[in-house]
Amino acid sequence: TYYDRIAAVNPQLNVYLSLSKERAMEQAARVDAMAAKGDPLPALAGVPVGIKDVLTMRGVPATAGSKILEGYEPPYDCTAVARLEQAGAVLLGKINCDEFAMGSSNENSAYGPVRNPVDPERVPGGSSGGSAAAVAANMAVATLGTDTGGSIRQPASFCGVVGVLPTWGRVSRYGLIAFASSLDRIGPFAGNVRDAATLLGVIAGQDEMDATSSPQPVPDYAAESDKGTEGLRIGVPAEYFAEGLDPEVRAQIEKGIDALRAAGCTIKPISLPHTKYAIPTYYLVATAEASANLARFDGVRYGHRSKTAETLSAMYRSSRDEGFGAEVKRRILLGTYALSAGYYDAYYGKAQQVRRLLAEEFLRAFAEVDAIVTPTSPMPAFKLGEKTGDPLSMYLADIYTVTASLAGICGVSVPCGATAAGLPVGMQVLSSHLQEGMAFRVARAVE
Ligand code: GLN
């Protein structure tokens, strides 16, 4: 049924880049056999799930939205992907995204943009726009995305679905094609908070293939999400309701805050004054790490190799020139500059110091409140092409999401009303390190 649905709507929405039909049908048959025998079924038995194309699936092309990886078939499964399958999920295929997860609109994919199912003239958000659109258009029950500076939360808000940013280290990054390793996280999208919580419970937990994965035990997130919100203290930071916030988005978030009050929460105004430094800090750290991570794409080990070059160094140069898109090149240039001798302390070193201040500011706030709520994005889904000529205005749209990324804390974007034109608005619910259960509880009271 899901493959029929994909065949019908993919030509318009451009969500799936490749399908893993054989593997999916084998898995479905395995689950059917278990059910027929009366065996107990695992948490996601038979649930159709789509995978962002920056995560590896053995034997299925992985492009990361880039021409440079065209033709690459990874020989191994990403840990999160393998855990979904062990829990009975049926993996449908690989989903479009911004090239190497760099972007906020999905327009940086070398395979064309994804369209927003709510309004196909508009972007689905990015970089995991395809993963959000797949759930919104019922082309999967749930999906995996990745979030480095907002790439799960912002497309969830643009498409009207739930998206989860787990604590950094909560989900193994083994099999995630790296963008900025100290920020990269894998997380689920689903149609409601409880389903998203169930998926996180399956993919989270320590993994011997990722030394940075947390050894903390994984709670039953779905059960955590059932606990209700009576007596919780919710922080509302003034800096996220300042200039630049679309009035219609503000109005919906204020209604969401009223719903929390009605659900027994105490609302506390708070201040996070370093918020204004988050965009420059994020775009220094992210581009610096990207310039290092993307050095491996040299035309030798994976994907595209230039056919014109006559020497080894010319081959490196032209493979990268032909394989990478404009946004990826811009970031490699920015990041290489920020890391270069003489500039390192002024840019990268300074950004690391500000990052620490941002994290400490959040921890101070979480000593007084259980969760913090904000808009996920200052605006609803914008039109295709509206921001492509102006990378800076695209970067500024990440203002509410990059703070939690830099601080390493977790959060959820949950649908919270719509504009008069019917465009979804998302509320971001943030909680402290490894407190995903708290974010789910609060988000349940809003959806
Ligand atoms: N929009 C941000 C960027 O372009 C975030 C991307 C992401 O989270 N992968 O870097």
Judged by average pLDDT, the poorest of 108-112, 217-221, 272-276, 297-301 is 297-301
Q: Under a CB-based contact definition with an 8 Å cutoff, are residues 53 and 151 in contact?
A: no
What pTM did the predictor assign?
0.98
pLDDT at 341: 87
Other beta carbons within 10 angstroms of residue 246's beta carbon come to: 16
Q: Is 35 exposed, middle or buried (0-12, 13-18, 19+ CB in 10 A)?
A: middle
**Of 304, 326, 348, which marks where a domain is finished?**
348
pLDDT band (50, 70, 90) for residue 263: very high
Q: How confident is the model at residue 444 (pLDDT cuts 50, 70, 90)?
A: very high
Tell me: do 105 and 207 sit in the same domain.
Answer: yes
20, 104, 109, 127: which one is catalytic?
127
Q: How is residue 351 annotated by DSSP?
A: H
Find the 127 Cα to ligand 1 centroid distance in Å.
Answer: 6
Domain tally, the chain: 2
Picking from 62, 72, 121, 73, the residue whose alpha carbon sits closest to that of residue 97 is 62
Considering the domain architecture, whether residues 103 and 29 belong to the same structural domain is answered as yes
Select from 52, 53, 108, 127 the residue to mutate for testing ligand 1; criterion: most ligand atoms less than 8 Å from CB: 127
Ligand 1 atom nearest residue 179's Cα: 9
Least confident of 165-179, 224-238, 302-316, 401-415: 302-316
Residues 121 and 222 in one domain: yes
Pair 325, 192 in one domain: no
Q: Is the CB of 187 under 6 A from ligand 1?
A: no
Q: How confident is the model at residue 393 (pLDDT cuts 50, 70, 90)?
A: confident
The order of strands in the sheet holding 266-270 is 16-19, 90-95, 48-52, 142-147, 185-190, 162-165, 410-418, 424-431, 371-375, 233-237, 266-270
Q: Answer yes or no: 431 catalytic.
A: no
Q: What is the pLDDT of residues 80-89, one digit of tens each?
A: 999 999 999 9
* Residue 140 CB-density burial (10 A; 0-12 exposed, 13-18 middle, 19+ buried): buried
In a shared domain, residues 271 and 306: no
Q: How far is the CA of 151 from the centre of ligand 1 (A)?
A: 5
Residue 301 confidence (pLDDT): 86
**Is 105 a catalytic site residue?**
no
427-437 residue pLDDT tens? 999 999 999 99
Q: Which of 348, 383, 399 is the last residue of a domain?
A: 348
Range of the domain at 327: 279-348
| Minimum-distance ligand 1 atom for the alpha carbon of 126 | 1
Q: Looking at ligand 1, which residue's alpha carbon is closest to its atom 5?
A: 149
Provide the pLDDT for residue 23.
97
Q: Give the three-state DSSP class for 60.
A: strand
Distance 368 CA to ligand 1 centre (A): 30
Structure tokens at 322: 């032909």
pLDDT of residue 252 exceeding 90, the answer is yes
Question: How confident is the model over 298-340, as pLDDT tens digits?
Answer: 999 888 999 999 999 999 999 999 999 999 999 999 999 999 9
**Secondary structure (3-state) at 108:** coil
Query: In the structure, what pLDDT confidence band is assigned to residue 391 with cuts at 50, 70 and 90?
Result: confident
Q: Is 327 in the pocket of ligand 1 (CB under 6 A)?
A: no
Beta-strand relationship, 90-95 and 142-147: unpaired
Residues 6+ apart with CB under 8 A from 117: 9, 13, 124, 133, 136, 137, 159
Q: Ligand 1 within 6 A of 446 CB?
A: no
CB-based contact 414:443 (threshold 8 Å): yes
Closest ligand 1 atom, CA of 397? 1
Region 259-282 average pLDDT: 98
How does DSSP assign 354-379, residue by residue? Answer: HHHHHHHHHHHHHTT-SEEEEESSSS
Distance 152 CA to ligand 1 centre (A): 9
Q: How far is it, in rounded angstroms, from Cα 33 to Cα 23?
A: 15
Q: For the segment 204-221, what is each residue's pLDDT rounded down to a tens digit?
A: 999 999 999 999 999 999
Q: Are 355 and 330 within one domain?
A: no
Last residue of one domain, picked from the residues 348, 380, 408: 348
pLDDT above 90 for 78: yes
Cβ-Cβ contacts under 8 Å for 138 (sequence gap 6 or more): 5
Percent of the chain's residues with pLDDT above 90? 96
Q: Are residues 207 and 300 in the same domain?
A: no
Asked whether residue 77 falls in the same domain as residue 187, the answer is: yes
Of 20, 104, 151, 172, which one is the catalytic site residue? 151
- Interface predicted TM-score of the whole assembly (ipTM), two decimals: 0.97
**Ligand 1 in reach of 145 Cβ (< 6 A):** no
Is the pLDDT score of 365 beyond 90?
yes
Is 52 designated active site?
Answer: yes
